[in-house]
Amino acid sequence: MQSFRTELENPVVEKDIINLEKQIRAFREGKIHDEKFRSLRLARGIYGQRQPGVQMVRIKLPFGKVTFKQLLRIADISDEYASHNLHLTTRQDIQIHFVSLDRTPQLWAELEQDDITIREACGNTVRNVTASPAAGIDPREPFDVSPYAHAAFEFFLRNPICQDMARKFKIAFSSGVDDTAFAYANDVGLIPKINDKGERGFKVYLGGGLGAQPFIAALVEEFLPEDQLMPYIESVIRVFDRYGERNNRNKARLKYVIQRLGLDEVVRLAKEERIANKVKSYPINRNAVDEPTIPEPVISTEIKITDPLHYEQWLITNTFEQKQKGFFGVYIKVTMGDIHTDKARKFVEAIRPYVADEIRVTQNQGLLLKYARKEALPAIYNVLAELGMAAPGFDSVADVVTCPGTDTCNLGISNSMTLSKVLEDLVYEEYEEFVYNRDIKIKISGCMNSCGQHGLAHIGFHGSSLKAGLKVLPSVQVLLGGGTVGDGVGRAAEKIIKVPAKRATDVLRKVLDDYKANSSEGETYHNYYDRQGKDYFYQLLKPLADLTNLRDDEFVDWGHEETYATAIGVGECAGVVIDLVATLLYECDEKKGWAEESFRNGAYADAIYHAYNVFISGAKSLLLDKNINVGTQTGIMKEFDAQYIDKGEFAWNGTFTDSVLEINKREPSEEFARAYMASAFEFLEAVKTKREALVQS
């Protein structure tokens, strides 16, 4: 591989990129085990695709914010390194596909020139911090949550407590009670509040998540003062890191820690961790997110609208007046979340005169433009219409959310991208009145993992397969009744029935027809669903699950011509378990170096946490020599005491657990950091000696 060139001014970022290049080189030379390397690249936003030999690169856009210049930079990167396409995600990222692994350091360096990162966009880390796209202009918000989301992004990026957790960790800030960031479906969900004294704070929800087993988050704080936000989340992450299950990734999220220990115990443990936090109070810089420059009025002749009815539809469904009077937000519906790079460039040039230089990627894979003047809306509509980007019905029944599915993802079971387009077309052609309906959301995932958010859909589908005799055909699991209620309350969709994928259109027709015929005036979809009951919908859709009358085309998936065959690879979205003793000892030396560097820089809490990981990895390496593989850090401590300390096989003053857990009993001072590091490094040397003796025996 060729060495990359960098002109970066940020030495920390430059070091990151140089390290990535070194790791790729070592991997190519066989010096790093591929399982270890997988976790390293995932934490740098580099994800293996379904297609061998190429990568998906996830570009991390905190709370979905991207400037014109940044979007153009990403388009240029996609042209140079990827497939000339930008894919908008449900976590407000942008993904590019078909990237060569060896070119990722240079790609990252070029992105960073415009302050764009891929660091910790994948892997067992704090993922992209999301927020309501309308934050800052939402007429109903108590205050703008954007600076708080930005603070969370900065605080946890490269933070030692969340570099190699049991699994990913998701944080979401909603702008108000509408909960448009889905606080209830995140590990930590936050809704802004102002108390009786006029002080800012947040309502806090804990332990939400989607996937194959969706959990609705639990309310843990009615009002958490704003300066306590980062310390609180840090304490929760510390608990998750210590108690999260590392062997069974299907039980590795925070929601399972809460299920196993109980919510009250997790809250208690988080409180216990507060003593070890970097800071006890973290004031938020409310000016950290620059206000976008408002465009000057554009003087022009009267704009002619060629399709007035379509324009009125667009105005009603895709625009709203901001809290800043006289200005409007403009939503753009992006089919399948895909924008070709040529269109992206034309789009930026077309809207530049009319809106502020700040675009937000939305959770339903669209875009939001800000600070459009009312008199500019006709011109904006015209330029968008010319680009095919003025479809009405943003966030309506006609705006179907989808993950990439079998197009690129290893875990995809059946197609989701083409199916989403087919269902959208069906709504526009047969149910035009639903273009105005924002009560019902349709969401599709290529598998049960809910990257397309089917777990919180009113009408959801996820990819699956069915057997008909000796043959297999693509299918979809139908789910109904999920979605946002408001102010942190949400509902998980219920599984109803599995049908051949080609009958998904018939499913949608039956459900919408029944809603039109049997819902009462003004009845919400949730109330209608509850009134009818789950079995009612099972009976309604049961005829579509009949496999005795299959057509030949039903053995071919949407968007394909060949006969369907299941081909599921190894998922990478949360890393893997690494059980190699040599790799663990290598990690110990690496973390020892990080601890020493942090200590020299006065980052004592960081130094202590790196030393803590030296303890854990060192103990795990010796346990593996006895073929004991423990899934949690607390379990490792307990088992090391039982297998080595109690049996006199390892000389140590006191119990190993007590030594390690000094971390949450002492303030992170210079004195304690020095003593704790010395203890961890002494332990590491003893582990190496013990290991050498075992190898020689």
* Lookup result for tokens 């593996």: 624
pLDDT of 455 reads: 94
pLDDT of 579 reads: 39
pLDDT of 575 reads: 40
pLDDT of 4 reads: 56
CA distance 319 to 9: 40
What DSSP string describes 548-586?
TT--GGGGS-TT--SPP--------TT------HHHHHH
pLDDT of 572 reads: 54
CA distance 493 to 481: 5
pLDDT of 578 reads: 36
pLDDT of 660 reads: 97
CA distance 225 to 459: 37
pLDDT of 36 reads: 75
Q: Which tokens is 570 given?
A: 């190894």
Q: Where are the alpha helices (DSSP H) in 244-362?
A: 254-261, 263-273, 308-318, 341-351
- Between the alpha carbon of residue 434 and those of residues 313, 396, 512, 521, the distances in Å are 12, 7, 9, 15
pLDDT of 8 reads: 67
| Closest alpha carbon to 98 in 80, 111, 86, 82 | 82
In the Cβ-directed half-sphere of 293, how many Cα atoms lie within 13 Å? Answer: 9
CA distance 343 to 442: 26
Phi-psi region of 216 (alpha: psi -120 to 50; beta: other; left: phi over 0): beta
pLDDT of 568 reads: 53
- The pTM of this model reads 0.94
Q: Are 603 and 155 in contact, with CB atoms under 8 Å apart? A: no
CA distance 395 to 418: 18
Classify burial at 524, counting beta carbons within 10 Å of its beta carbon; exposed 0-12, middle 13-18, buried 19 or more: middle
- Between the alpha carbon of residue 72 and those of residues 69, 75, 266, the distances in Å are 5, 5, 44
Which residues fall within 8 angstroms of residue 558, CB to CB, at 6 or more apart? 414, 415, 418, 419, 422, 474, 501, 502
- Between the alpha carbon of residue 54 and those of residues 23, 103, 274, 573, the distances in Å are 17, 10, 43, 16
pLDDT of 249 reads: 84
For residue 312, the SS3 value is helix
Q: What structural domains does the chain harbor?
A: 11-112 (3.90.480.20), 130-276 (3.30.413.10), 308-386 (3.30.70), 401-555 (3.30.413.10), 581-696 (1.20.120.330)
- Between the alpha carbon of residue 182 and those of residues 19, 190, 252, 271, the distances in Å are 36, 9, 21, 25
Q: Which tokens is 211 given?
A: 């996937």
Dihedral angle computed from the Cα positions of residues 332, 333, 335 and 338, in that order, rounded to the nearest 10 degrees: 30
Which residues fall within 8 angstroms of residue 437, CB to CB, at 6 or more apart? 396, 397
Q: What single-letter amino acid sits at 661?
A: L
Q: Are 297 and 327 in contact, with CB atoms under 8 Å apart? A: no
Which residues in the chain land under pLDDT 70?
Answer: 1-8, 300, 567-580, 695-697
Q: What single-letter amino acid sits at 280?
A: K
Which residues fall within 8 angstroms of residue 318, CB to CB, at 6 or more apart? 330, 331, 332, 333, 390, 392, 393, 394
Q: What is the 3-state secondary structure (H, E, C) of 164-175?
A: CCCCCECEEECC
Distance in Å from the first CA to the final CA of the chain: 41
Check residue 216 and report its DSSP letter.
Answer: P
| Closest alpha carbon to 254 in 203, 186, 204 | 186
Measured at the alpha carbon of residue 96, what is the angle toward residues 52 and 387, in degrees to the nearest 5? 135
Phi-psi region of 144 (alpha: psi -120 to 50; beta: other; left: phi over 0): beta
